[in-house]
């Protein structure tokens, strides 16, 4: 069975600083993808970044990077130069890359960026 664990229910960060949101996972599948989504207070789910289990390099998308440590089964999201608009709920998710495509989500981390 697949499982995603996010142990930080809430985080604070000062504007312009970097912040790391933790995510650990468990799966027996050899091929899987790890994803991060942002959910602002308006409620929509916004895709941020993806990391494949076979990718050799950590994924980056603008100010977002994914610190992927396969041996430790962790896929932490790093947000650099935080902005007030980054205040939101962040969900880590996993899915297989073949067969079923459903996501398994973590419980989320609520990030508050302070001015």
Query: Toward another protein, which CB reaches closer, 16 or 70?
Result: 70
Q: Rounded to the nearest whole angstrom, what is the least distance from the CB of residue 60 to another protein in the complex?
A: 15
- For residue 64, the tally of other CB atoms under 10 A from its CB is 16
Contacting residue, 13, 23, 25, 33, with another protein by CB under 8 A: 33
Buried residues in 12-41 as b, exposed as e (16+ CB within 10 A)? ebeeeeebebbbbbebeeeebbbbbbbeee
| Contacting range for another protein; rule: CB under 8 A; set: 13-21, 40-48, 66-74, 78-86 | 40-48
Residues 69-88 touching another protein, rule: CB under 8 A, are none
């Amino acid at each position: 069975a697949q499982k995603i664990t996010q142990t930080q229910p809430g985080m604070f960060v000062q504007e312009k600083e970097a912040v790391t949101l933790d995510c650990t996972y468990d799966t027996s599948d050899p091929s899987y993808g790890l994803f991060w989504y942002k959910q602002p207070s308006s409620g929509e789910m916004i895709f941020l970044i993806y990391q494949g289990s076979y990718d050799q390099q950590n994924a980056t998308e603008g100010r977002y990077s994914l610190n992927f440590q396969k041996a430790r089964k962790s896929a932490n999201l790093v947000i650099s130069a935080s902005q007030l608009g980054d205040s939101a709920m962040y969900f880590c998710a996993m899915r297989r890359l073949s067969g079923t495509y459903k996501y398994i989500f973590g419980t989320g981390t609520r990030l508050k960026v302070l001015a």
